[in-house]
Amino acid sequence: MKKKEKGFSLLELMTTIGIISIIGAVGFPAIDNFGDQENYETDLATIRGQINYVRQLSLEDGNAYTIRIVNDTTNTTADLEVWQAQGLNRYNVEYHKSTATKCSDFDGTNDKGTKLADLTKKLEHMTISRCTSTTGNCTKVSASDNFFCFLPDGSSPENARGEMQSSSNAGGKKEYLHTYETGFFNNGTRM
C-alpha cells in the first residue's frame, strides 16, 4: 500500500495565490488612500481647532483677532498666524457705535495688530486662499488680505469664503471654508 503524501497540489497552490492577489489588488489602494485621507483630516482638524480657539479667545478677553493665512504654495503648506487687534475691544466706544465693522478697521490705522507667535499653527498638506465673494468661482484676495477675523463678541464682521487646496499626499482635494457673521464656520457647501 502506497503511503499518501501530505502537501498541496499545484492547483491548490495556484488558487491560493490567485485569491491573495485579488485581495491585495483590491485592498492596497484603500490602504494607500488611508494615509492621504488621514493627512487631509489632520489639517482640517488643525483649521477647526484654530478657528474655535481664536473665537473663544475673543469672547474671553474681549479683543478682536485675525487668523492670517501665510501660504507656501510651492510646498502646499500654510501657517495660521493669530494677531490681536490693538484698537478694537469691547470697551471701545467706536466699536459699539459701528454698524459695519470690517476686519481692516480693527485699529483704524490698517495695522495688523500684535502677532501672537506662540499661537501659530501649521498646515502640513494644505493652503487656504480667501475668496473675494461667497459665491461663484474663487477669485483670490491678495496675500495681505488673506485672513479671517473675529470681533470681541466672538462674531465675524462679514461672511467670507476661503478655498482650501490640499496637496497630492492629502488627496489633492479642493474644498471651501465658509465663515459667517455669527462666528459659525463650516467646510464643504455653504449653509
User: What share of the chain in percent tops pLDDT 90?
Assistant: 47
Instruction: Please give the average per-residue pLDDT across 42-61, as a whole number.
Output: 93
Could you tell me the pLDDT band of residue 162, with boundaries at 50, 70 and 90? very high
Q: Taking 60 as the threshold, does the pLDDT of residue 105 lie above it?
A: no
Q: What integer pLDDT is reported at residue 177 of this predicted model?
A: 95
Going from the C-alpha of 107 to that of each of 34, 37, 89, 96, 164, the distances in angstroms are 45, 40, 9, 14, 28
Q: What integer pLDDT is reported at residue 85 of this predicted model?
A: 82
Q: Taking 90 as the threshold, does the pLDDT of residue 117 lie above it?
A: yes
Closest by CA to 86, choosing from 119, 118, 112, 51, is 112
Could you tell me the pLDDT band of residue 137, with boundaries at 50, 70 and 90? very high
Note whether 153 and 90 are within 8 A (CB): yes
Q: Taking 60 as the threshold, does the pLDDT of residue 114 lie above it?
A: yes
Fold of the domain spanning 11-187: minor pseudopilin epsh fold (3.55.40)
DSSP at 116: -
At a CB cut-off of 8 Å and minimum separation 6, what does 116 contact? 82, 83, 84
Parse the chain into domains and list their residue ranges. Answer: 11-187
Q: What integer pLDDT is reported at residue 1 of this predicted model?
A: 59
Evaluated on CA atoms 151, 152, 155, 161, the torsion sign reads positive
Note whether 179 and 160 are within 8 A (CB): yes
pTM: 0.76
* Biggest CA-to-CA distance, the chain: 107
Q: Taking 90 as the threshold, does the pLDDT of residue 16 lie above it?
A: no
How far apart are alpha carbons 128 and 161 in whole angstroms?
10
Average pLDDT of the chain? 84
Note whether 78 and 147 are within 8 A (CB): no
